[in-house]
Amino acid sequence: MRPTREPQRAVILRGIFLLTAGITACTGAIGEPPIASTPVAQNDVVVVDGVVTSEAGTVTPAVDPQRVTIHRLNRAEYNNTVRDLLGTRTRPADEFPADDRGYGFDNIADVLSVSPLHIEQYDRAAEALVEEALGVPTVASQRWQLEAESLMGSVGAVSGAAWLLWSNGEVGGMVTLPAPGRYRLTVSAWQSRAGTEDARMGMELDGTALRTVMVPNLAASPGEFTAEFTVTRAGPVTVSATFENDFVGGTPSADRNLWVDFLRVEGPLGATGTPPPSRAQWLTCDPVAMGEDACAEQVLTRFGRRAWRRPLAQTEVRAVWSRFRAVTRMHAGTWDDAIKLSMRAMLLSPHFIYRVEIDSDRANPAPHAVTAHELAARLSYFLWSSMPDAELDRVADDGTLLQPAVLTAQAQRMLAHANAQALVQNFAGQWLYTRRLDEHDVNAALYPRYTAQIRDAMRQETEAFFGHFLQNDVSMSEFLTADYSFVDARMAGYYGVTPPSGAGLQRTALGAQRLGFLTQGTLLTVTSHADRTSPVKRGQWVLQQLLCAPPPAPPPNVEGLPTEMMVMGSVRQRLEAHATQPLCRSCHDLMDPIGFGLENFDAVGLHRTMEGRYPIDATGMLPDGTRFEGAQQLARIVSQDPRFARCVSQQMLTYALGRGLNENDDAQLAQLDGQWRSSGLRLRTLITQIVLSDAFRLRRAELGGM
């Protein structure tokens, strides 16, 4: 998606385009060659921020790599990074605030910001992560006794030294656990008997049931019931006992109730001194034998190399260690405490939170290569949304990554690695809107066949389909026209095609009604409303996401038509009534025909020939006069549009660089487009070409004094 970033003098050049192309707001259409996409550089000069970077009359313009703003890790990247750094299975970033998006993606450096809330959460996460990786339960086992008569239940009252639950409800309290680990909850309780069964009591942690027990005991001899649980973080938890089967009746009539005397929590359980395996991976020396400072330097140098994605200078390591050793000494902390505090600080440092790139000569505006370590980080965050692995680290350390042959080999190795699934979830998930499926509202009464399982199956289908193009080197010219997809038996039933043999997702023929990505459930659903289709949304999606030619926004004051023009009729008929207004037609003639072509699929992707009592009319006419009928013909037209291939490379380049593109990238895009086409539109080739491109390997300083 093209942004509107305007470097200073380039505004003047751009103004010329706007004057000619802007007044007739919507120009260009499917089937025609692209308009007004001539790179500025081919005309005369490229003037960026006051600096001339190429000369008049140049045939092959120089590529201006520009620069990426210092790039904060987004949530997916943070989770993956700490997973690869520390082996944790927790996903701390799930609690961080949502990342803001720009240009269609949530990894755009300019848009990602840091607030006090972020800092608080980064710090808490860092503390917990280090504790989990190294922590030995140095906290002696403790005991908290909550006497029920001093608590307050949701129902009932104090009765002697206990709390009486006289109907279904719970009583509980909060304890602050000092360390992660295993704990034991004990509840003392008794019942009054009634009916044929005993009182049933649930034992809960933070509202989640740990255990349910029957309480046969009477007041004379209370029972003690235990349940164990594990927490991964120190902090407050709520423990409670719940009464679940209140009962009055029987002959003679009796009342079943539950008394709770106390709740007790003990822990952390287990032998102190059983370290997690990761401890030995990081603490590779013995401070007693080697000397505290020397061992600390060894540990932190290794940790820093991985955490900051580059080698640390000895001064940096010593600065960290001396500071935190001093602080912990003042508070009777151990060498262990100082190591943990150092690591916690290093995980809060900007060197971890951001991908730092330094221009060694800030006064020189000419493009220069990024360092091998910076390149390794760009590569791993592009392909894996995570930090480099040991192999990539090695070729960064010895500098060979800067050689194109090595860079190519690494890119291909990483694409074949399981971590490349990140491209499916993060690139395709946003480019194809797959991520929206989980949030999308569907009217369950109107669409009973759209269940949670179908929704999951849809997402898996799209992910597998994209993954197929990524991993199996299939040409993207088939993306919209493939006569197959990857579905399981349930999804095949939904589509009305012959189910595959075998379990799970299999490559399956799509039959006569569907063709390619445009007819997949995912797309058809997320571009609909909760209760009906939206040809406008579908048309706009295709134009914006597949052709990178979004229709301009509606002119001012056009939203909010004074009256509903036509109340009855199919969705198509009602839309066509609006588009009789000339101001609306120029854009709606671009969007609506695409949407009409997909009207054979309802708001949850099921095929239909009727909309209620209106027959579906899936014909369309494009602005250039091309007529088509149905999704298959439409898909072929879009697939052959030259803007499709270029748009895919544009989307991929935006995601790879983490910045919006502008006119100064036209030269780079033209190069990529040409190379990619001649290779047969294979995604791996595109990715490799991007990695080898100037825009990816180079950057230039931003002028502007201190």
Partner 1 sequence: MKTSKISRRVVLGGAGVAVALPFLESLLSREARAQARPLPRRVLFYYTPCGINSSDGRGWSPAARGVGSAWALSRMLAPLGAALKPYTAVLSGLHNRPASASFGGTNDGAGDHARGTGCFLTSARLVKTDGTNIRNGISIDQAIAQRVGMMSRFPSLQVGTDAGSSAGDCDSGYSCAYARNVSWSSATTPLPKITSPRTLFDRLFAGMDPSATVAANARRRAYSTSVLDYVRGEATSLQTRMGPTDRRKLDEYLTAIREVELRIGMMEGMVCTPTPRPAATVPYPMLVDVMHDLLALSFRCDLTRVQTFMLGNAGSGRVFDFLGLTEGHHNLSHHMNNENNLTKLETIGTWEVRKFAELCNRLRMIDDGMGTNALDNTVCMFSSEIADGNSHAHTGLPLLSVGRGGGQITTDRHVDFGGQPIADYFIALAKIMGVTLPNFGAEGTRVLANLGPVSS
Range 641-680, binding partner 1 (CB under 8 A): 660
Least Cβ distance, residue 539 to partner 1 (angstroms): 15
Q: 286 vs 559, which CB is nearer to partner 1?
A: 559
Nearest distance in Å: CB 15, partner 1:
15
CB of 664 to partner 1, least distance (A): 13
**Residues of this chain, 406-435, that bind partner 1 according to CB under 8 A:** 429-430, 433-435
In the complex with partner 1, the residue whose CB is nearer, 70 or 406, is: 70
Tell which positions 570-629 bind partner 1, by CB under 8 A: none
Rounded-to-10 torsion of CA 238, 241, 244, 247: -140
102 counts as binding partner 1 under rule CB under 8 A? yes
706 binds partner 1 (CB under 8 A): yes
Quick note: the x/- pattern for partner 1 over 523-562, rule CB under 8 A, is: ------xxx--------------------xxxxxx-xxxx
* Packed helices 666-678 and 683-692: angle between N→C axes, nearest 10 degrees: 140
DSSP string covering 402-445: GSHHHHHHHHHHHHHSGGGHHIIIIIIHHHS-GGGGGG----TT
Between 349 and 688, name the residue whose CB sits nearer to partner 1: 349
Residues 446-475 that bind partner 1 (CB under 8 A): 446, 452, 455
Site for partner 1 in 144-183 (CB under 8 A): 152, 154, 169-170, 172, 174, 176
- Alpha-carbon dihedral sign for residues 322, 327, 332, 338: negative
Q: Is 313 a residue that touches partner 1 (CB under 8 A)?
A: no
Of 281, 274, 275, 345, the C-alpha closest to 86 is 281
Kind of pairing, strands 368-369 and 698-699? antiparallel
Phi and psi torsions of 315, nearest 5°: -60, -35
- Would you call 441 exposed, middle or buried from its count of C-beta atoms within 10 A (0-12, 13-18, 19+)? exposed
Judged by CB under 8 A, the residue of 104, 311, 467, 642 near partner 1 is 104
Reduce the DSSP state of residue 355 to 3 states and report it: strand
Q: Does 315 bind partner 1 (CB under 8 A)?
A: no
Q: Is 101 in the site for partner 1 (CB under 8 A)?
A: yes
Residues 336-375 interacting with partner 1 (rule: CB under 8 A): 341, 344-345, 348-351, 353-354, 356, 358-359, 362
- 24 is an interface residue for partner 1 by CB under 8 A: no
Residues in contact with partner 1, shown as a per-residue x/- string from 241 to 270 under the rule CB under 8 A:
-x----------------------------
3-state SS class at 563: coil
Least Å distance between CB 630 and partner 1?
26
Q: Does residue 98 touch partner 1 according to CB under 8 A?
A: yes
What are the structure tokens assigned to 353, written together? 């939170």
Q: Does 1 bind partner 1 (CB under 8 A)?
A: yes
- The verdict on 229 binding partner 1 (CB under 8 A) reads no
Binding mask 34-73 for partner 1 (x = CB under 8 A): ---------------------------------x-xx-x-
Provide, rounded to whole angstroms, the least separation between the CB of residue 436 and partner 1. Answer: 5
Minimum separation from the CB atom of position 399 to partner 1 (A): 21
Q: How far is the CB of 97 from partner 1 (least distance, A)?
A: 3
Q: Which residues contact 624 (CB under 8 A, 6 or more apart)?
A: 29, 30, 31, 32
Residues in CB range of 230: below 8 A, 6 or more apart: 180, 181, 182, 183
Q: Which residues pair with 225 in a beta bridge?
A: 187
User: Least separation, in Å, of the C-beta of 98 and partner 1?
Assistant: 4
DSSP 664: G
Q: How far is CA 421 from CA 85, 321, 384, 447, in A?
A: 18, 37, 7, 31
Nearer to partner 1, 545 or 688 (CB): 545
**Complex with partner 1: residue 108 or 185, whichever CB lies closer:** 108
Identity of the residue, 555 or 674, whose beta carbon is nearer to partner 1 in the bound complex: 555
Count H helices and E strands in the chain, helices first.
25, 24
Q: Kindly indicate which of the ranges 104-112, 367-375, 580-588, 607-615 contains the residues binding partner 1, using the contact rule CB under 8 A.
A: 104-112
Q: Which is nearer to partner 1, 1 or 489 (CB)?
A: 1
Which runs of consecutive H residues, i.e. helices, occur in 251-384?
277-282, 287-290, 292-307, 314-330, 335-348, 350-353, 372-384
* Cβ proximity of 388 and 396 under 8 Å: yes
DSSP state of 601: B
Contact status, residue 305 vs residue 293, Cβ threshold 8 Å? no
For partner 1, give the closer residue by CB, 144 or 484: 144
510 binds partner 1 (CB under 8 A): no
Of 11, 12, 35, 114, the residue at the interface with partner 1 (CB under 8 A) is 114
Q: Residue 6 phi/psi, 5° resolution?
A: -125, 95
